[in-house]
Structure formats: structure tokens, C-alpha cells
Amino acid sequence: MSCSRLDEVRQALTAGQWPQASAPELRAHVETCARCSQEVLITQHLQLARAEAVASAHPGTPSLLWLRAQARRRTAALERAGRPLAAAQIFALVLVAATVLGMVASHWRGLVDHALSAEGAPTFSLTALVGDWGMVPLLVAFAAITTLGGVVVYLSAERP
């Protein structure tokens, strides 16, 4: 359902010319056209409701919203900046876990024997470790401590 004069009616309604300032011939058309009279009925009611709602609106001050937005922007920026550090943290943890698991997997029999023997404490020394694995465990541990240490320093300095 459409009408060729609908745009004219809409224009008159939008410009606030309806009904007094619009042509009598257009008014006569609206009385006989179902589509245009529907448009007038709904638009007039909703425009009145809008005027009423706008008059009763009590928006707060914009400065509070401005400050809230600033705080949210800053939080978002910090979160974004913290993402690479979180990734480094996870990487370091995975590295440490993998090293520990690797060492346990390769020495599990010796560890079990030590645990089961009644001869006292296991003979686990740094020299033996370096002999078995070369410098790999020490390098990994050093890298992990360095990364985690950096993260800890950053978090304690930047986060409230």
C-alpha cells in the first residue's frame, strides 16, 4: 500500500506545517487516502510523545561521562599493553614446565630408586645435572627467571 503524495505529506509533517500550513487540497487528499491518513495519525502521535519525553528528560552533566570514558579508555589501553607480557609469562611457564617434565621423564628411574632406597638423601648435584644435560636446564631456568622477574617488576610498578 503506497501513495504518490506520501512524500508531500511526510514533508509537511516533518516541517511542522501539518495541518494548518499545508494546502487545503492536500488535507482533502489525506482524508480520503488510507495510507496518508495512517501516516498522519502515527506521526502526529509519535511527534507529540517525543516532545513530551524530551521535555521530561533530565540528562546529567557531560563532564561525568567524559571522566568515565577517560577512565575506561585508560584501563583498555593498559590491558592492551599487558597482553604481550601475559604471553611472555605463559611462554616462560610452559618452558619451565616442559623442562621439569623432560628432566623427570629422563631421570624417573633414578628418582624412583633414590626414593625407594633407604640409604639417605638422593645424590642430586648441579655437576651431575650439567653433565647429563649440558647447559640447557641452566639457560632455560635463567631465561624463565629473567622473564618472570621482568613481569613481576612491571606489574608491581604499573598496576595499582
d(CA 114, CA 105): 15
Task: Restricting to residues 1-40, name those near other proteins by CB under 8 A.
Answer: 1, 14, 38-39
- Min. distance of Cβ 139 from other proteins in angstroms? 20
Site size for other proteins, by CB under 8 A? 45
Say which residues have a Cβ less than 8 Å from residue 132's Cβ, sequence separation at least 6: 106, 107
- Min. distance of Cβ 5 from other proteins in angstroms? 17
d(CA 23, CA 104): 94
- Min. distance of Cβ 78 from other proteins in angstroms? 7
* Nearer Cβ to other proteins (5/114): 5
Establish if 94 lies at the interface with other proteins (CB under 8 A): no
- Figure out which of the listed residues 23, 28, 86, 87 binds other proteins, where binding follows CB under 8 A: 87
Cβ burial 4-34 (10 Å sphere, 16+ → b, else e): eeeebbeebbeeeebeeebeeebeebbeebe
Say which residues have a Cβ less than 8 Å from residue 12's Cβ, sequence separation at least 6: 18, 21, 22, 26
Instruction: Retrieve residue 90's grid coordinates.
Output: 605463559
Map residues 42-61 to x or -, x wherever contact with other proteins holds by CB under 8 A: xxxxxxxxxxxxxxxx-xx-
Evaluate whether 13 touches 39 at the Cβ level (below 8 Å). yes
Span near other proteins by CB under 8 A; candidates 20-28, 62-70, 100-108, 109-117: 62-70
Instruction: Retrieve residue 67's grid coordinates.
Output: 571522566
* Nearer Cβ to other proteins (56/117): 56
The site for other proteins (CB under 8 A) is made up of 1, 14, 38-39, 41-57, 59-60, 62-63, 65-66, 68-70, 72-74, 76-78, 80-85, 87, 154, 158
